[in-house]
Chain A
Amino acid sequence: MSDEHGQASQADESQSPREKKFIALLERLANARPFAKLRFQAPLLEQSRRLIVEPGGIEILYRLAPRLDEAGLFHGTDWDDPAALMPGLVNATLEQGSRDLVILESLSQLRLLAVANGVATHQGISAEQARHFLTQLLALNLNRLLGPPSETQRVRLGPLAEAVGKVFHFLMGHIGYGDILGHLIDEIWRILSQRPLQVAHVKAMVGQIAISIQQGSGDFGEARLGADRLTSALFGPTQGCLDDPGLD
């Protein structure tokens, strides 16, 4: 593991009482034997849920994410083996999972970001793979970057719903928009090259791209060209009627 979180374990005057408590719980989990971890996971998830909605909470959790991972927060869950995680399943977890699963997923994302940024390592997953996962994840969840959480989410998760969206923004701040669009476009071409009959989800993705280019600010770089091409292919007139003014 990196040196960074080694330093974080020392009591720091700047830590809030909540953060200090969080670290106390974290250390208890870290000390516990594998068979006893379960008991300390739930309290830590509960505190994570409270910490993540506080100002600066995501940064704190991002900083602690490698330690959480090492302490065994994901022990005994599907998240324990990040190489086996599938970005396509994340949305279902966030939409339908319990509050504990939702926070676990968010923490897993922060941990993977730490791996992608090279501040932490995890057995079985490289920085490259982690980055690839997060890029895919962001591409598939563009709606979370664009708007506020849906009402069902707000009712079900409370303040956590907003925090989930903020985590996505946080991830994007580190991964970059261009990367995501580029990836999404590659993905669409990969699907289209198979000449699928059902194209609804591809159309939805193209729609997402169009919306994010319209609303998003910032530089999309080369990805912009490919995106325009897809958008015009879906929404523009076909070659055959390009010259038709549309009058009878």
Chain B
Amino acid sequence: MTEKNPDKGYVAILGWSLNAIDSIDRFDRRYVIVAPPWAEEYAKEHDIPYISWNFERIDDRSFEIARILKDEGVDVAIPLFEETVEWAGAINSVLLGKPRLMGQALLFRDKSLMKRRAQLGGIHVGIFEEAQDKGDVIHFLRRVNQTLLKLDGDPNDPIHLKAFDKAGCLGHWVIREPDDVERISDDEFPLLMESHLDGWEFAVEAWIKNRKIQFLNISEYVTLGYSVFVPATPELEKYRPQVTAEIEKLIEAFDIDFGFIHPEYFVTSDGKLHFGEVAYRPPGFNAFELIERAYGFNAYQATVLMFDPKTTDEELANFFPREVVDATGHAGCFGVYPRRRVVSDLIIPEETANDDYFEFHELQSPVENKVPKRSAFGTHWGLVYFFGEDPHRMRDLLKAQEDLDYYV
């Protein structure tokens, strides 16, 4: 265990992730992992500081965890997953004596509230409404396309449906025709409906302390839900000043003193930025790992640094490298979905395996031969990692993976 500095903060990590624990264990802050009871045995066996808590149960006793952590001497709680964001907000409002943090966390957890808040803060968002049932969806689709002056027979502009409180691509549907609505089961409602923005989508990872951006990374999506790499190409990086300004608006609108945010934006052909959504937790697709590969700093440790109220200015000044120029290369990953209906073996395509940029993969051999139908976006079978110096070659390489069979 790395020597812990008693003058630094004591952090509680909400959620179980071995990557995160591994990173934080190597950092100089004392920590405790708050996770469901199934993790207890493992934590004991490996001497991981652990407090058992069931995040799924919400009742009169939920307040206890804040008290337990306060008695333990914890300074701040850090969420790892979407589901623990509001828990962290509630706990921190007690630990830090700032009741508004609870409300702030709810803004991050409800996409519909989030959009409204962003709009109030003067941030450009698409048009959106809440849907209670399928009828609302069809109505919204009609009205949006009517607004766009489409005539009968013109192809519709699609709309997007998203669950209020799910991470990333989970529960995200694209609806083009009224018939598409039938794919969604009734228990998915209520949902958020949004107009489609025809633009270049990308994600931002921003570490914030004292209401200031300490480090800002732009992650370029090659194809949404398939592939991402950092740092982005110069064509996307040229929007960095605009992105920075947008993040500063978010900090104001959502009243963010500290923490880590992960928003998504679209840039349209006229060069305007449109806000998609924002999460107050580490991103999916292992973006933290890509950032570490490219820049060399540990993104989990950086997040702890942001949350810890005892972090000094000197530490902040020394922790982060310079954005873009200090990256040693571009790190990307590709999420594999089987392209065939029936598969029996995992074979890394030769052209991928022999590529200089290929690093490694985390794919498992198939357990079942029949490939389940893909619902919405999401649920890839594993990630393949790449690293190299040329962002354009990286982009083309990631794109090319979409036409290759990993499972045959």
Contacts and interface: CB of A to CB of B under 8 A. Distances in A.
Contact of A39 (B19, B46, B293): B19
Give chain A's interface secondary structure class.
helix
B356 interface: yes
Contacts of A34: 46
Interface in A1-50: 17-18, 21, 24-25, 31-36, 39, 42-44, 46-47, 50
A35 B47 CA distance: 10
B22 A21 contact: no
Given A21-B387, A33-B25, A34-B46, A39 B18 contact: yes
Given A34-B46, A50-B353, A25 B360 contact: yes
A163 to B, nearest CB: 15
Contact of B19 (A36, A43, A44, A47): A36
A36 B25 CA distance: 11
B387 A35 contact: no
B174 interface: no
Interface string B370-401: 00000000000000010100000000000000
Interface string A46-67: 1100100000000000000000
Taking residues whose C-beta sits less than 8 angstroms from the other chain, chain A's interface range is 10 to 19
B360 A43 contact: yes
B361 interface: yes
A36 B48 CA distance: 12
Contacts of B46: 33-35
B15 to A, nearest CB: 15
Given A21-B387, A50-B353, A36 B22 contact: yes
Contacts, number: 42
Q: For chain B, what secondary structure do more than half of its interface residues adopt (helix, strand, loop), or is it mixed?
A: mixed
Contacts of A42: 360, 362
B286 to A, nearest CB: 11
A43 B359 contact: yes
B70 to A, nearest CB: 28
Given A21-B387, A50-B353, A35 B18 contact: yes
A33 B22 contact: yes
Interface string B342-376: 00000000000100100111100000000000000
Nearest to A98: B365
Contacts of B18: 35-36, 39
* Chain B interface extent, by class: 10 to 19
B362 A35 contact: no
A36 B23 CA distance: 9
A46 B22 contact: no
Interface string A208-238: 0000000000000000000000000000000
A18 B355 CA distance: 10
Nearest to A45: B360
Contact of B356 (A17, A31, A36, A43): A17
Contacts of A50: 353
13 contacts: A21-B359, A24-B293, A25-B359, A31-B26, A33-B46, A35-B18, A36-B18, A36-B22, A39-B18, A39-B19, A42-B360, A43-B359, A50-B353
Given A35-B48, A46-B361, 16 more contacts: A18-B356, A21-B387, A25-B359, A31-B26, A33-B46, A34-B46, A35-B18, A35-B42, A36-B21, A36-B22, A39-B18, A39-B19, A43-B359, A43-B361, A43-B385, A47-B359
Interface of B: 18-19, 21-22, 25-26, 42, 46, 48, 293, 353, 356, 359-362, 385, 387
Interface of A: 17-18, 21, 24-25, 31-36, 39, 42-44, 46-47, 50
Closest CB pairs A-B (n = 10):
A43-B360, A36-B22, A35-B46, A33-B22, A17-B356, A36-B18, A33-B25, A46-B360, A32-B22, A21-B359
